[in-house]
């Protein structure tokens, strides 16, 4: 007996020691320094510099990344030109008119300051077919000090920087150290994409409403994915890239991604919620299953982005060009009557641009959307019947590929040719010319010069018409507990009150319910009438009591 | 022939009736919330409760249907024209003139002909309409692919609502009729105690007393 106990004790001792032995065997090498890249760019001879221009840096990049320049030049970031595979429309920044600054052509060196290249000075022709003109640093600089001037066709501020020069993010321009930027390169961060995309339309969050500087380091409540307190996503976590082409499009949107669950977690070149979350994203609980019933008709964004322009940066909601050009004592002036939540005053009138309205934490406009966006292209004629739709969003309840999506509905007043019934181009930028509106405040000259530059017909007459433009909202996803509650839509005058062609319980009784209500009313009336007659009869001396009940 | 207090509603029968009544009231309340007729509870809670109570009631109905057919109690609900006219005439005229209710409960037929007809319609038309449309509504995800226009869901929703209001109308009239005759409390009591005054033939009474003395109360 004691022998057995001893043996057991020994065995137990061995078992207790085993994990220690395991730990010793499994001891790992010290953690690797640096990033997960196989190259430390700060050690590369080619990037030592000094560099005197952007293209010189690009040349150094291309000495190893031989195909990168060509790849970029095949993407919309470079071409600003997009041939829509469904509608056949020729879109892209180079071709469309929007309800913000209007048009790129004739205002080039300012508008092309956000081009992913250097020196595109005439957008009537394609960007220069030279790989060294690709701007690698705009996307890959991780030193944080690279920038692009706001009026030099994409070139960075180099010595000497002109006084009062500004960058594309509106900051005072500072001389860029190109060699430092070149040695810092890495995968794009939120700030890289943001330096153009957060400032579209001429300022922070002006254009999109769901893309602002608030996303550079957002609070969890502003963007659950991009917040450092959340998933700390970069833009490319969703907008996956393939040979420098990024997934996602505002012209041809994947409005309903019927993801095959087998592909979950695999790399697919789509920037949809479903590509990670599937189209049955909610838990298998009574509530979760009911929510999953919604995903075929309601976009994820509709509930999970309850408002846009969150995180403290307002977005422009109205831009009225018709009031532009007023002068005080012969000089342009500005009014700043909108106060942002951080106390910052935003302009509500500029002599150069007209009148504005702003919004923060804006409730979206909702509409059926199948992903197809058609534009009112230059030269396209139409009769005015209500506001002119600068772009039109496709889809309806009867379209199985359509879901209810949130949009920023931008309201504007823009120049229109009342005889030819076309949208007009404007020439606003060009300090040296006598036709640029921002210098001369003369619409006649500005429009005539612009129309002549782009070679489009112009009757010589213009007026300002009401316009609307729709921008799909897909960013600033809130934490789940801040998603919309059922009542937001399932209520009279709820958020989807304007949506046609779908049964939404709680928005009012449909015919069957109304008929039923009438039936119930009649039953109640009959009972009250019957009871009343019994009381009257009883008062008249006859017993209202019968025999048995029914 | 004598009137006796006879146990006509078994324990299951009473449990069935009152759970059904409670469930239906809860379904009205939560359903009205989902339709936006009131906002006394959150929409989400109303949806979950409505679905859960409806499923529980369906289970009860499955048991009740089994019970009806295995015990033969279903025969109580067979329609009969015998005396139907008299009952109709009583509610339309006699009740205002102090007449006695023309129907005398007997063991086989504890419902008057109008009542039996109403309950039969409820069981064969309204209840199937409500639960078939309800299940279709609840299981929309299973057939939405075949309903791209959403028209099917709209039809289902309208049938569900119409049937619901028709049942509500039944409840109103049902409760009102309890006030006629011996009075509301007298009429509700049997569904609580199980005992009701029924006309028995001497043979029936003798049989019942022999079979199980607790089924008939001695005093009358």
Torsion angle in degrees (nearest 10) through CA of B141, A483, A248, A139: -160
Tell me the ipTM for this assembly. Answer: 0.89
As beta bridge partners, residue A335 has A349
Q: Do A142 and A220 have their domain in common? A: no
On whether both A212 and A172 belong to a single domain, the answer is no
Distance CA B56, CA A323 (A): 65
* Helix H or strand E segment including B13: helix B11-34
Residues of B in contact with A511 (CB under 8 A): 158
Asked if A389 and A467 count as a contact pair (C-beta separation under 8 A), the reply is yes
Alpha helices in A213-305 (DSSP H): 235-238, 274-277, 286-292, 300-304
Q: Is residue A132 part of a domain?
A: yes
Domain-ending residue, one of A157, A186, A215: A186
Give me the total of CB pairs closer than 8 Å, taking one residue from chain A and one from chain B: 169
What are the residues facing A338 on neighbouring strands?
A: A346
The verdict on a CB contact (< 8 Å) between A544 and B98 is yes
B97·A502 Cβ contact <8 A: no
Classify strands A349-350 and A334-335 as parallel, antiparallel or unpaired.
Answer: antiparallel
> Which residue on chain A is closest to B117 by alpha carbon?
A550
Which residues in chain A have Cβ-Cβ distances shorter than 8 Å to B140? 293
> Chain B: nearest CA to A97, how far in angstroms?
34
**Whole domain around residue A174: which residue ranges?**
36-186
Q: Which chain A residues are closer than 8 Å to B96 by Cβ?
A: 533-534, 536-537, 542, 544
Which residue shows structure tokens 């119930």? A520
Q: Do A487 and B42 touch (CB under 8 A)?
A: yes
State the residue for tokens 């709680």: A506
List per-block mean pLDDT (blocks of 10 residues) for chain A, which spans 550 residues.
55 53 56 80 94 97 97 97 95 95 94 97 95 97 96 95 95 97 96 97 96 97 97 94 92 83 60 87 93 93 98 98 96 97 97 98 98 93 88 93 97 96 95 92 96 96 97 97 96 94 92 96 95 86 46
- Residue B104 pLDDT class (50, 70, 90 cuts): confident
* Mutate: best of B40, B96, B164, partner A, most A CBs <10 A: B96
**A457 in any annotated domain:** no
Is residue B1 over pLDDT 50? yes
CB-CB under 8 Å, A548 with B181? yes
Per-residue tokens: B179: 């006030």
Cα–Cα distance measured from residue A443 to residue A437, given in angstroms and rounded to the nearest whole number? 6
Among A286, A292, A506, the residue with its CB nearest the CB of B35 is A506
Residue A320 lies in a domain: yes
Residues of A in contact with B169 (CB under 8 A): 519-520, 522-523
A404 close to A297: Cβ distance less than 8 angstroms? yes
What confidence score (pLDDT) does residue A544 get?
Answer: 42
Test A544 with B96 for CB contact under 8 angstroms: yes
Q: Are A344 and A229 part of one and the same domain?
A: yes
Q: Are residues A146 and A222 in the same domain?
A: no
Nearest chain A CA: its distance from B213 CA (Å) = 26
Please judge whether A544 and B95 are an interchain contact, meaning their C-beta atoms are less than 8 angstroms apart. yes
- Does residue A143 sit in the same domain as residue A260? no
Alpha helices in A178-263 (DSSP H): 178-183, 190-197, 235-238
- What are the backbone dihedrals phi and psi of residue B186, each rounded to the nearest 5 degrees, phi first? -60, -35
Residues of A in contact with B179 (CB under 8 A): 531
Same domain, A155 and A114: yes
Say whether B164 and A492 touch across the interface (CB within 8 A).
no
In a domain, A220, yes or no: yes
Report the alpha-carbon distance of residue A140 to residue A241 in Å, rounded: 14
Return the closest-CA partner of residue B81 out of B38, B120, B55, B44: B120
Instruction: Give A-chain residues touching B98 at CB under 8 angstroms.
Output: 537, 542-546
CB contact under 8 A, A545 and B98: yes
Q: Where along chain B do its domains lie? A: 2-9+73-215
Q: Which long-range contacts (CB under 8 A, 24 or more apart) does A350-354 make?
A: A350/A324, A351/A324, A351/A325, A351/A326, A351/A327, A351/A441, A352/A324, A352/A428, A352/A437, A352/A438, A352/A441, A353/A202, A353/A319, A353/A321, A353/A324, A354/A319, A354/A320, A354/A321, A354/A322, A354/A323, A354/A324, A354/A413
Nearest to A509 among B35, B150, B183 (CB): B35
> Is A545–B153 a contact, with Cβ atoms under 8 angstroms apart?
no
Q: Does residue A335 share a domain with residue A304? A: yes
User: Is A161 inside a domain boundary?
Assistant: yes
Q: Which of B91, B141, B164 faces A292 most closely, judged by CB atoms? A: B141
Which of A80, A251, A51 has the alpha carbon at shortest distance from A153?
Answer: A80
Q: Are A221 and A478 within 8 A, CB to CB?
A: yes
**Chain B residue numbers touching A533 (CB-CB < 8 A):** 96
User: Cβ–Cβ of B150/A510 closer than 8 Å?
Assistant: no
Per CB-CB distance under 8 Å, the chain A contacts of B87 are: 550
Predicted pLDDT at A83: 96
- Set of chain A residues whose Cβ sits within 8 Å of the Cβ of B97: 537, 542
Residue of chain A whose Cα is closest to the Cα of B51: A286
Give the pLDDT confidence of B50-102 residue by residue, as tens digits.
999 999 999 999 998 898 889 888 887 777 777 788 888 888 888 888 788 87
Q: Is A29 a member of any domain?
A: no
Tell whether A148 is covered by a domain.
yes
Indicate the residue of A491, A492, A534 with minimum beta-carbon distance to B96.
Answer: A534
Q: Same domain, yes or no, for A65 and A109?
A: yes
Q: How close is the nearest chain A Cα to the Cα of B210, in Å?
A: 28
CA-to-CA distance for A192 and A139, rounded, in angstroms?
5
More confident residue, B174 or B105: B174
Cβ contact B44–A287 (<8 Å)? yes
Same domain, A403 and A264: yes
Contact B150 A501 (CB under 8 A): yes
Q: Are residues A222 and A163 in the same domain?
A: no
Q: How far apart are CA B49 and CA B29, in angstroms?
A: 10
Mean pLDDT of the B24-40 span: 96
| Structure confidence at residue A13 (pLDDT) | 53
A47/A42 Cα distance (integer angstroms): 7
Check whether B111 has a pLDDT greater than 90: no
Give chain A's domain count. 2
Contact: B165, A516; criterion CB under 8 Å: yes
Please state whether beta strands A354-359 and A315-320 pair in parallel, antiparallel, or not at all (unpaired): antiparallel
Structure tokens at B132: 């078939």
pLDDT at position B100 is 80
With beta carbons under 8 A apart, name residues in chain A contacting B34: 490, 505-506
DSSP code of A307? S
Mean pLDDT of all residues in chain B? Answer: 88
Separation in Å, CA of A264 to nearest CA in chain B: 21
Chain A residue with minimum CA distance to B87:
A550
Any domain includes A439 = no
Nearest CA to A77 among A92, A63, A97, A67? A92
Residues A327 and A409 in one domain: yes
Same domain assignment for residues A51 and A179: yes
Q: Which residue has the higher pLDDT, A99 or B186?
A: A99
Q: Which residues of A touch B117 (CB under 8 A)?
A: none
């Amino acid at each position: 007996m004691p022998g057995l106990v001893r043996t057991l004790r020994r065995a137990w001792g061995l078992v207790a020691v085993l994990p220690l032995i395991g730990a010793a065997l499994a001891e790992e090498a010290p953690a690797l320094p640096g990033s997960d890249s196989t190259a430390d760019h700060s050690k590369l001879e080619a990037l030592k510099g000094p560099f005197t221009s952007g293209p010189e840096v690009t040349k150094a990049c291309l000495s190893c990344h031989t195909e990168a320049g060509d790849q970029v030049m095949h993407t919309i970031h470079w071409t600003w030109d997009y041939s829509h595979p469904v509608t056949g429309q020729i879109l892209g920044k180079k071709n469309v008119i929007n309800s913000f600054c209007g048009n790129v052509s004739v205002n080039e060196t300012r508008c092309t300051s956000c081009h992913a290249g250097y020196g595109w000075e005439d957008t009537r022709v394609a960007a220069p077919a030279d790989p060294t003109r690709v701007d690698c640093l705009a996307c890959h600089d991780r030193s944080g000090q690279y920038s692009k001037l706001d009026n030099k066709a994409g070139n960075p501020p180099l010595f000497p920087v002109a006084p009062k020069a500004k960058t594309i993010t509106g900051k005072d321009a500072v001389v860029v150290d190109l060699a430092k930027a070149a040695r810092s390169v890495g995968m794009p961060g939120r700030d890289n994409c943001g330096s153009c995309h957060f400032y579209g339309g001429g300022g922070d969050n002006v254009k999109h409403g769901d893309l602002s500087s608030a996303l550079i380091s957002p609070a969890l409540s502003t963007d659950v994915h991009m917040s450092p307190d959340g998933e700390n996503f970069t833009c490319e976590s969703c907008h996956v890239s393939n040979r420098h082409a990024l997934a996602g499009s505002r012209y041809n949107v994947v409005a309903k991604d019927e993801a095959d669950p087998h592909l979950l977690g695999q790399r697919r070149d789509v920037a949809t919620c479903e590509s990670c979350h599937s189209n049955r994203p909610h838990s298998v609980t009574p509530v979760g299953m009911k929510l999953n019933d919604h995903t075929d008709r309601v976009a994820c964004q509709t509930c999970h982005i309850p408002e846009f322009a969150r995180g403290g940066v307002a977005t422009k909601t109205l831009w009225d060009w018709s009031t532009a050009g007023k002068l005080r004592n012969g000089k342009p002036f500005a009014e700043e009557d909108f106060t942002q939540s951080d106390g910052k005053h935003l302009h509500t009138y500029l002599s150069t641009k007209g009148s504005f309205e702003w919004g923060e934490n804006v409730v979206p406009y909702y509409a059926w959307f199948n992903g197809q966006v058609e534009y009112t292209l230059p030269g396209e004629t139409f009769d005015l019947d209500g506001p002119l739709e600068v772009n039109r969003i496709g889809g309806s309840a009867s379209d199985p590929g359509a879901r209810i999506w949130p949009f920023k509905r931008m309201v504007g007043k823009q120049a229109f040719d009342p005889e030819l019934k076309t949208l007009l181009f404007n020439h606003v930028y060009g300090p040296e010319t006598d036709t640029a509106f921002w210098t001369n405040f003369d619409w006649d000259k500005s429009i005539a010069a612009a129309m002549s530059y782009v070679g489009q017909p112009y009757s010589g007459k213009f007026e300002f018409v009401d316009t609307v433009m729709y921008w799909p909202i897909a960013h600033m996803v809130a934490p789940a507990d801040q998603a919309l509650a059922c009542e937001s839509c399932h209520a009279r005058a709820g958020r989807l009150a304007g949506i046609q062609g779908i049964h939404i319980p709680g928005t009012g009784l449909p015919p069957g319910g109304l008929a039923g209500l009438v039936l119930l009313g009649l039953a109640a009336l009959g009972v009250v009438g019957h009871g009343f007659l019994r009381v009257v009869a009883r008062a008249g001396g006859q017993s209202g009591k019968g025999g048995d009940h029914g | 022939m004598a009137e006796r207090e006879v146990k006509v509603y078994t324990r299951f029968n009473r449990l069935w009736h009152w759970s059904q009544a409670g469930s239906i009231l809860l379904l009205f309340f939560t359903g009205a919330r989902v339709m936006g007729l009131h906002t006394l509870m959150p929409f989400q809670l109303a949806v979950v409760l409505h679905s859960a109570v409806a499923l529980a009631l369906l289970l009860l109905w499955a048991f009740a249907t089994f019970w009806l057919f295995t015990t033969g109690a279903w025969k109580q609900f067979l329609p009969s024209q015998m005396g139907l006219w008299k009952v109709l005439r009583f509610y339309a005229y006699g009740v205002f003139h102090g007449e006695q209710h023309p129907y005398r409960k007997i063991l086989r037929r504890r419902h008057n002909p109008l009542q039996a007809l109403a309950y039969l319609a409820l069981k064969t038309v309204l209840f199937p309409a409500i639960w078939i449309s309800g299940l279709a509504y609840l299981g929309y995800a299973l057939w939405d692919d075949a309903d791209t226009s959403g028209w099917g869901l709209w039809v289902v929703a309208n049938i569900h609502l119409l049937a619901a209001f028709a049942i509500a109308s039944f409840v109103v009239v049902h409760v009102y009729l309890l006030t006629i005759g011996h009075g509301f409390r007298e009429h509700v009591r049997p569904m609580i105690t199980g005992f009701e005054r029924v006309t028995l033939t001497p043979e029936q009474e003798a049989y019942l007393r022999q079979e199980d003395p607790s089924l008939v109360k001695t005093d009358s």
